[in-house]
Amino acid sequence: MSSLDVEYLSEQLTHTLDLVKAELRMVNHRLEQLEKDQEDHEKRIRQLTDSSTQFKVLAGLATGGGLLSIASLLKLLFGT
């Protein structure tokens, strides 16, 4: 192998390494974005679950179910 061949091979390897590093940076960036998106989705699901629970409680209270439950609990506790 001549010195030109070695130099050419070295340049090719360096270029290939640069391409691999660039691809790795892109993959890492995409992974970070996916993790951020997942956290956002989890946060939204928690907020929707909380809202749904609050709505169910308020709807139960508004229809009188909560009032009857409280009255039954007071009757049971105080025996009146």
**AA letter at 67:** L
Structural domain range at position 52: 3-78
Is 74 in contact with 80 (CB distance < 8 Å)? yes
Structurally, the chain folds into a number of domains equal to 1
Is 60 in contact with 66 (CB distance < 8 Å)? yes
Query: Which pTM value belongs to this model?
Result: 0.58
Q: What is the pLDDT of residues 32-51, one digit of tens each?
A: 999 999 999 999 999 999 89
The tens place of each residue's pLDDT in the chain, 80 residues long, gives: 788 889 999 999 999 999 999 999 999 999 999 999 999 999 999 999 989 888 887 777 777 666 667 777 778 788 75
Is 67 in contact with 61 (CB distance < 8 Å)? yes
